[in-house]
Amino acid sequence: MLRRVRGLAVVLVALALAAGAHAAPPLVTATAAPAQGIAPLRVTLAASGDAATYSWDLGDGTTAAGAVVSHVYCAGTHVATVTATTATGETAQAQVAVAATARTVSLTTARSGDYDSPAVLTGVLRPAKAGERVHIYRGRTHVTSAVARAGGRFRAVIRLRSPGPYRAVYGAAASRERTVLVRPRLTVSIPTNAVVGARSAVTARVTPAAAGPVTVRVRNGRRIVAAGRGSVRLPTGAVSDLRVEVTSTPRSGFAGVRRAGRTSVVQPVLVRGSSGPSVLALERRLRELRYALKTVDTVFDLDTFEAVTAFQKVHGLPRTGRVEAPLWRRLAAATVPLPRYGRGDHIEVDKGRNVLYEIAGGRVNRIVHVSTGLTGNTPIGTFHVYRKVGGWDWVLWYPMYFLRGFAIHGYPSVPAYPASHGCVRVPMWIAPSLFSRHEHGARIVVFA
C-alpha cells in the first residue's frame, strides 16, 4: 500500500512539472525601421520569436496584426507594443519606440510696403534641409518658390500687389499666415492754373482700385467749395487761390494715402503793368520752370515780361511778353528743359531762340532772355571766359569775354530779337549774378 502511494505522488509531481513547462511565456522581440525620422514617417514594425500570432498596439491609438506591419506615424514619440500568443494561449509582450520629428516652416514679411514695390519674404525650414524648395502661397494661389540654404533659411522676393495673407508650404508643413499693409499708389492731377471761366478739374485714383475710394476736397481758405469722389470740377467763376486735399479711405489690408496741393484760378489776360494774385501765380510757375525773375510778387514788371518772353522763345511762340489763355495752358504742361552740352557748371546760349541757359550741377538753373548779334555774327562753338570786368567796361555791364571782343554782358536794351553788335546781351539786373557765379575759364557753349 505504501509503495502504491509513493508511485502516485511521483506521477503527480511529473504532471505538475509538465504543466509548468507548458505554461512558460513565449520569447518575443520587436524592431522598428526606421526608428526615427521626419513626420509623416512610414515605419516597418517586425516581431520575432516562437509565438503563433502577433497583435500590435501601435502607440497612437491604432492597432494592427501580423509579424510584420507597416504604419505611418505623425509627429511625436510613440511606443509600439506587440503581444505574442502561443498556440496554447501563453502570451508575452515587447516594445519599441518610434520618434517622428515634425517638419516646420516659418515665414517673416515686412509689416508694410508700397504697392508694386519689391517685398522680401524670409523663413526657416526645420529640421534644416538645404536644397529643398519651399513654396509661397497667397491664399490658395501659388506666388513663388524659394530654395532653402544651409541652415534651412530661405528668401523670396515678390512684387507687392496684395496684402495677402501669405504662407510658406513645404510638403505637409505650412507656416502661419502673414499679411502686409500695402500703401497704394495715389495718382493725382491738379491743374497748375485754371483760367477764369474755363472748365478745369482735379482727378485722382488709387492703384489698385481695391485699396479703397478716393475723396477730393477743394478749399478756398477754410471753406470747402467743391468735393467728390475721384474727379471734381474746380470753381472757376472768379480769381482765387485754392487748396486741394485728396484722401483715400483704406479697405482691409491697405493703408490710407493722402496728397495736398494748390492751384490758382487766374485772369486769362496779363500784360506788363498787371497786378494781383494772377501775376503771383504766373511768376511762381515761371520760377518753377527755372525762368529768371528778379522777384516773385504780384506785379507784372519788366523782369516778368522778360521771363514770359523767354518762355515764348523756348516754346516757339510769338514773342509778345503777353499772357493769354493758350499761354496758361502751355505753362501748365511745360517742363524744365535739359542741358544740351554735358554736365557740370557752364553756360549754353541758344543763338536761334535768343535764350541763355545757366547750367549748375548738370541741370538748368536759370533761363534768361537775351539778344544776340543783329547780323548773325555771334560766334558759334565752345569757348571759355578769359577776361572779366566788374561793373562798366565802356558800355558793357559786368562783361565776361569769351572770344576776342565778344562777351556776355548786361545792357539797358534787350529786345526780343537779335540787336547787338555780336555780344550776348542780358538784362542789367541779372548780369552781376552771372558774373559772380562763373569764374575765369568757365565754359560757354553757343549753338544755333
The Cα 336–Cα 325 span in angstroms is 21
What is the average pLDDT across 325-341?
96
pLDDT at 14: 41
Confidence of residue 345 (pLDDT cuts 50, 70, 90): very high
pLDDT at 305 over 70: yes
What is the average pLDDT across 323-340?
96
pLDDT at 23: 65
pLDDT at 11: 37
Average pLDDT of the chain to the nearest whole number: 93
pLDDT at 39: 87
Fold of the domain spanning 277-333? Muramoyl-pentapeptide Carboxypeptidase; domain 1 (1.10.101)
Classify domain 28-101 at the CATH superfamily level.
Immunoglobulins (2.60.40.10)
Q: What CATH class does 104-182 carry?
A: mainly beta
142-162 pLDDT per residue, tens: 999 999 999 999 999 999 999
pLDDT at 20 over 50: no
Fold of the domain spanning 185-266? Immunoglobulin-like (2.60.40)
Classify domain 346-447 at the CATH superfamily level.
L,D-transpeptidase catalytic domain-like (2.40.440.10)
| Boundaries of every domain in the chain | 28-101, 104-182, 185-266, 277-333, 346-447
- State the Cα angle at 430 between 427 and 434, rounded to 5°: 125
362-408 pLDDT per residue, tens: 999 999 999 999 999 999 999 999 999 999 999 999 999 999 999 99
**Are 104-182 and 185-266 equal in CATH topology?**
yes
The pLDDT > 90 percentage for the chain reads: 91
pLDDT at 189 over 60: yes
236-266 pLDDT per residue, tens: 999 999 999 999 999 999 999 999 999 999 9
